[in-house]
Amino acid sequence: MRRLRDRIQRSDEGTSLIELLVVMIIFTMIMAIITTAIVNMMRESRRQNGQSNDMSAARKVITLLDHSARYANAITAPGTGTDGNFYFEFQTGNTGQQQTCTQWRWVSAGGKLQWRTWQPPLTGTGTVTATNWSTAAIGISQVGSTPVFSISPTSSADAKEELTVTFTATSGAPSTSSNSQVTLTAINSTSDTAPTTATCTQVGRP
């Protein structure tokens, strides 16, 4: 009976402080491992989303230019406007018919690539109104000292003008960056040895 009574008393004593501390330490270590894994997964997800956004921005810019500048009959020499942003223009349309001017600009302060259009007068002079600026991409910067827009005649026999667009797209948190470059040949351009400065000047570079 005494042995039975001692055994019952020992079973009622519960968990010791040392055992409790060991359990808490083990539990804390497990939670730390789980938390670290979750944080790393979230960081990787944000990085992949940022890269996806960079690719989407680059694709949008390249697609817009490919669907328009490729068919230009004249492209202006890129340059800085009075507002400090970087511009270029190109003209599309059949000879003797209504032409369309498209102006692109890179806003360095906000990292924006934007474009707008207008239709020059068929003959003589007239009032020209440009559309509002449309934003093609944000988070855009130069690749080193390479201009975002550059143009030159091709080295081929027909010497069509070529437009090269080079930029870095940055997005996401933490931010990720990717470089893009595309060269488009203006298939309807003439065999000029230098880009024109007399095309699409009705609106100017504000």
pLDDT of 48 higher than 50: yes
Average pLDDT over residues 46-75: 74
In the three-class reduction of DSSP (H, G, I as helix; E, B as strand; rest coil), residue 92 is classed as strand
pLDDT of 145 higher than 80: yes
Q: Could you tell me the CA-to-CA distances from 130 to 92, 101, 176, 198, 203 in Å, in that order? A: 15, 9, 35, 18, 7
Which one is predicted more confidently, 173 or 80? 80
Q: How far apart are CA 83 and CA 147, in angstroms?
A: 17
Return the domain boundaries, the chain: 1-206
Long-range contacts of 34-43 (CB under 8 A, 24+ apart): 43/174
pLDDT of 160 higher than 70: yes
**Residue 27 burial by CB count (10 A; 0-12/13-18/19+): exposed, middle or buried?**
exposed
Q: How far apart are CA 189 and CA 76, in angstroms?
A: 11
Give the pLDDT confidence score for residue 2 in this predicted structure: 61
**What confidence tens digit (pLDDT) does each residue in 10-39 have?**
555 556 778 788 888 888 888 888 887 777
pTM, full prediction:
0.71
